Amino acid sequence: MADKAQRATGNGGETHQTANGATPILTTNHGVAVSDNQNSLKSGVRGPTLLEDFVLREKIFHFDHERIPERIVHARGSGAHGVFEATDDISDLSKAAVFTKGEKTEVFARFSTVAGGAGSVDTPRDVRGFAVKFYTREGNWDLVGNNIPVFFIQDAIKFPDLVHSVKMEADRAYPQAGSAHDTFWDFASLTPETTHMLFWAMSDRTLPRSLRMMEGFGVHTFKLVNAAGEASFVKFHWRPTLGIQSTIWDEALKLQAADNDYHRRDLFEAIDTGAFPQWELAIQVFDQEFAEAQPYDVLDATKLIPEEDVPLRVIGRMTLNRNVDNFFAETEQVAFLPTNIPPGIDFSNDPLLQGRLFSYLDTQKSRLGTTNFHQIPVNAPRCPFGNFQRDGMMQTMVPKGRGNYEPNSLADHGEDGGPRESAEKGFATANAATGPDETGDKLRIRPELFADHYSQARLFLKSQTESEQAHIASSFVFELSKVGLLDQVPLRMLANLRNVDEEFAKRVADGLGLPLPKKAKAAREPVNMAPSDALSIHKKMKDTLEGRAIGILIADGTDADALKSLVAAVIKAKGKAVVVAPKIGGAKLSDGSMRKADGQLAGSPSQIFDAVVVLLSEAGCAALLKEAAAVQWVMDAFGHLKAIGASDAAQPLLDKAGVMPDEGVTGLDAAFITAATRRFYAREPSVRSLA
């Protein structure tokens, strides 16, 4: 009986299962030691990722099933139906029917935040997912990307570590939907390949004004294949016809308070009112000769190809023209798979893309399935095991601490940093051909040019306007100021930033009140690339009122003719005029008529408008001087760098709100319509301190 009991428990009557950290050596769920946790197994230095890589397979498989039931990333999304029309003949490049000139293809698009859960809000600083499903006549094509053309990491094996670090911290379940905390910046500062993407993430690109006003990118390098079987490299770009526009940080915070569903509502209402959002699909096409001549590797997802080097070619237009009938049935259940491609489109050997190709199928197969089958006794290893896989249905172990990603420096602060890979004891694939169809080149390695983590971050920084650079620096200062216990992380991040730009690194250091540390040693020295105006929001903004909303604050006594003339001018310029009053019933105008308000002052803050007008009589202004909401309405519009048009009688309210004269503060003439098409970033130093 004693022998039977011993066999049943696996090891002398004690459970054989051990929690994370019980072994100093990183293992798989089945106890096999891991020799390399940094690189997936490839056929050659730049070859495709191999399906026999069980370390990658298990790690991604477990990660895909960590959350129940919402998506692990991109949980909060908004979707709509539409149509894609091919507008250019590219049959010389691709045989895909979706690209036949004049072909109209039904599509479904989903936009999303990345870090937050399904119940989070629309307006945090975050990358936005941009996924489109084309229902082509040759089968579905899913172009699954983001609103930023590059990514944090170069190899899919690091994706679980990236997301673990940016999600809520493991031992406290906060913060939600934000990267301004210890573990994300710990990971980022230990992973220099994140540097380029960090500059995009800290820029205004992650604070979009509207889902209708952000670009989309396929991120990876793909291939186009023509009828003759000839292949070209390609990158996909979505360009909004309304142009790109962002908010600023303080405005985004107040938008969150005003409307948690700001982007979702904006998209729904635009389609509902017939203002159908549109994007042009453009491509960058190049060959192997061009790829080999560049100072970066085109298969590196942390790099982009400047538009000045390979201009965009517009090949079609997507129009979203129908809202969903049921959110759960459509937006929540839509399943995007990068493996969904029709003939004429193919994959490159981008290692991040290669990992996604089999990751998504696991995710969509069953968002309610368990990944913890290895904890069932018959499946469990009989030796100690430990790794950074977490959670999932029927999790029976209780890992402690926040060490659920790697690399980490938690052990430096007395926390359990978890196990590590072992080149000596870990499983290593035999790098030798065993048959006539094998090359023998199975390597866990990255191409030499992948080691340049800073050149394109420098390119991005140098391509921004002064105000955009100030926003990026201030974003770094804010987020790194939220790093608490891991006090070495901001210094490590500053050491990395010195490889991008000395002045910028000092600017961030001064904002944090920290000394500038010794420059981090770069694996590959960065090079200077010519600045690209295409990387700047400010340089690409369209001077237009189309798609923009103008808030017009009125009160009793407002000049009826002036209001009528102003509304007509806004509409003529293709803008949307929204009348705001202290009461939803509206206000009694100068001619005795009642003008019903489109929004009540208390519930219609100036954050939801692109420019504002204060159209008041002397009596109306006197009344609003006593209304804190009115003063804040004007103060925020000025602080958020928006155009402000005002009647002469409204001047006391502007004075009380601290509005100072500049080119963005106008009267009610045509100058306001011109000013309302843009932001006034030169005003910013007078309203807030930036790094």
How crowded is the C-beta side of 28, counted as CA atoms within 13 Å? Answer: 21
The catalytically annotated residue of 20, 37, 62, 74 is 74
Give the integer Cα–Cα distance in Å for 616 and 637. Answer: 17
Pairing verdict, β 576-581 and 549-553: parallel
Pairing verdict, β 14-15 and 42-43: unpaired
74 has catalytic annotation: yes
Which residues have C-beta within 8 Å of that of residue 124, sequence separation ≥ 6?
A: 113, 115, 116, 177, 178, 252, 256
CB 405 within 8 A of CB 39: no
**What H or E segment, with its residue span, contains residue 637?**
helix 628-639
Q: What is the dihedral of CA 576, 582, 584, 585, to 10 degrees?
A: -110
Nearest in space to 301 (alpha carbons), one of 178, 418, 158: 158
Give the integer Cα–Cα distance in Å for 538 and 522. Answer: 31
Give the integer Cα–Cα distance in Å for 434 and 313. Answer: 45
% helix / strand / coil in the chain, to the nearest 5?
35, 15, 50
Rg of the chain on CA atoms, in Å = 28
CB 98 within 8 A of CB 340: no
The catalytically annotated residue of 37, 39, 146, 340 is 146
Give the integer Cα–Cα distance in Å for 95 and 304. Answer: 26
Give the integer Cα–Cα distance in Å for 172 and 415. Answer: 14
Question: Other C-beta atoms within 10 Å of 588: how many?
Answer: 17
Give the integer Cα–Cα distance in Å for 480 and 494. Answer: 10
Give the integer Cα–Cα distance in Å for 37 and 26. Answer: 9
Which residues have C-beta within 8 Å of that of residue 496, sequence separation ≥ 6?
A: 189, 192, 195, 454, 520
| Helix spans in 466-546 (H) | 466-481, 488-497, 502-512, 537-540
Amino acid at site 125: R
Give the integer Cα–Cα distance in Å for 36 and 54. Answer: 12
374 has catalytic annotation: no
CA distances from 189 to 182, 406, 450 (A): 10, 12, 17
Pairing verdict, β 665-666 and 644-646: parallel
Tokens linked to 387: 């790794």
SS3 assignment, position 578? strand
Catalytic positions, please?
A: 74, 146
